Amino acid sequence: MEQINNIQVVPCTSSDILKPFRVHYSQNGTRKSWDFMQTHDSVSVLIFNTTRHCFILVKQFRPAVYMCEWEKSQPEKVKEKVSEEAGKDASKGGEPGAESAETETDNAELDSGHIQDIPPASVGVTYELCARPVDKPDLSLEEIARQEVLEECGYDVPVTKLRRITSYRLGVGVTGAKQTMFYAEVSDENCVGVAEGSRQASEGELVEVVKVPLHEAIRFAYDENIPKTMGVIFSFVWFHSNMSPKYKISTNV
């Protein structure tokens, strides 16, 4: 997860995950436009292990987070690289041989000449809830959530044991997709022997399962030095507000 190299920034001409659009509309008599991305809705699951009194999160490398951090540290170089690649994409009508050689040269420069300016992979690693896009229309949200808990974290949880917390919108300025959050209590007995925590490399993901002790959860949620999603913060606060009497824990921050 920590070994990131051979970085190439290129235009995205097509994607199975994101589709860019521009909408034109009138609001109170004023003509406006807005750019947005169409993507899948998703589910997320707050997992609490009752045997060990800890939360089960996943940690993974997020290229979008990494590129944001890279751009903040080297804004001009990142913009320059994007402009170069966009220019090459727009000039595909030239001689193929020359274009191929130019691309190879640029890639070599990125790998060797700028390698000292590339931030460590750790700046793109985030802590998240177990989550998955809603990309199986024949399954209910609960069934999709159950499958992801099993595949990503190695816990076999019956659908009937999933408690729906709420749903909300993500990235309202860019995607507006809806995420539905569930709560699941598991025990060590529910852990099936699927290498707790590692997603198959063939699926394009490298996920590490991490445990956050119950007594450290609120500190974890508010620690700005720990990169995490808003779902982690909200779900930990929800747990302390709704489940603390059951486990007789303090909600003091």
pLDDT, tens digit, 9 for 90 and up, residues 66-107 = 999 988 877 666 566 666 666 665 555 444 444 444 444 344
8 Å CB contact between 51 and 211? no
Q: What is the pLDDT of residues 120-132, one digit of tens each?
A: 889 999 999 999 9
Q: DSSP letter at 117? A: G
pTM score, two decimals?
0.80
Looking at residue 244, its pLDDT comes to 76
Q: Is 201 exposed, middle or buried (0-12, 13-18, 19+ CB in 10 A)?
A: exposed
The whole-angstrom separation of Cα 45 and Cα 37 is: 24
Give 141's contacts (C-beta < 8 A, 6+ positions apart).
43, 134, 180, 182
8 Å CB contact between 45 and 205? no
Task: Please report which helix (H) or strand (E) contains residue 57, including its range.
Answer: strand 54-61
**Domains, in order of start, for the chain:** 19-64+121-246 (3.90.79.10), 67-117 (no CATH)
Looking at residue 195, its pLDDT comes to 46
The whole-angstrom separation of Cα 62 and Cα 78 is: 17
8 Å CB contact between 85 and 10? yes
In the chain, % of residues over pLDDT 70: 75
Q: DSSP letter at 155? A: B
Task: Please report which helix (H) or strand (E) contains residue 132, including its range.
Answer: strand 130-133
Res. 194 pLDDT band, cuts 50 70 90: low
Residues composing the chain: 253
Q: What is the pLDDT of residues 198-252, one digit of tens each?
A: 444 445 567 899 999 999 999 999 999 999 999 999 999 999 999 977 776 544 4
